[in-house]
């Protein structure tokens, strides 16, 4: 591109005016395009949504009912699976508790050679609860012995 110089400021203004007007027109066209483009796109999308909403598959109540039935069936399956999982967990916890209870079952404890000393309505849990001459029931695996305590000796 050649260097273009004007001999006077007025001549320079005359040279710039056509370029200025052309650029001004481009700016105006760009403004119009920017203003109409989003509206046109939104209108096109709105028409597309309206067409989908008016489609036969969406307007038929039977289709909507089928969709809801499938959703309900899916939720039912999920709930059954969740309930089954909860039930299996509860059964496992129950079996563990049953095992722990079996370990401390008095009949089983007595079967391992232990005995319980019954004093009236309660049971002795410590040698300190017993006194010489006191009567008690000695409960063992295969029966009860009525005893009178001869002496009491506390270990260290």
Total number of domains in the chain: 2
pLDDT in tens, 9-58: 766 667 677 777 777 888 887 777 777 766 676 777 778 777 777 776 66
Q: Do the domain assignments include residue 156? A: no
Same domain, 35 and 79: yes
pTM value > 0.75: no
Same domain, 68 and 36: yes
Angstrom distances, CA of residue 51 to CA of 15, 38, 54, 73, 80: 55, 20, 5, 29, 39
Alpha helices of the chain — where are they, by DSSP H?
A: 9-53, 56-59, 61-104, 106-111
Query: Under a CB-based contact definition with an 8 Å cutoff, are residues 145 and 153 in contact?
Result: no
Q: How far apart are CA 114 and CA 62, in angstroms?
A: 74
Query: Under a CB-based contact definition with an 8 Å cutoff, are residues 139 and 110 in contact?
Result: yes
Q: Do the domain assignments include residue 122? A: yes
Average pLDDT, the chain: 82
Q: Which of 137, 138, 139, 140 is nearest to 111 (CA)?
A: 140
- At 141, is the secondary structure helix, strand, or coil? coil
* pLDDT at position 1 over 70: no
Same domain, 86 and 120: no
Domain that holds residue 128: 106-148
* pLDDT at position 103 over 90: no
Q: How far apart are CA 120 and CA 129, in angstroms?
A: 12
Same domain, 35 and 64: yes
Same domain, 45 and 96: yes
């Amino acid at each position: 591109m050649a260097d273009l110089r004007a001999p006077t400021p007025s001549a320079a203004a005359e040279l710039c005016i056509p370029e200025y007007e052309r650029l001004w027109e481009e700016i105006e066209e760009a403004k119009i395009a920017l203003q109409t483009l989003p509206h046109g796109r939104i209108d096109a999308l709105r028409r597309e949504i309206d067409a989908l909403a008016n489609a036969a598959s969406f307007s038929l109540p039977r289709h909507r009912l089928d969709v809801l039935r499938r959703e309900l069936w899916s939720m039912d399956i999920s709930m059954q699976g969740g309930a089954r999982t909860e039930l299996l967990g509860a059964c496992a916890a129950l079996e563990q508790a049953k095992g722990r209870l079996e370990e401390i079952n008095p009949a089983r404890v007595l079967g391992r050679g232990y005995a319980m000393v019954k004093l009236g309505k309660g049971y002795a849990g410590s040698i300190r609860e017993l006194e010489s001459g006191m009567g008690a029931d000695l409960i063992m695996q295969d029966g009860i012995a009525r005893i009178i305590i001869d002496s009491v000796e506390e270990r260290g």
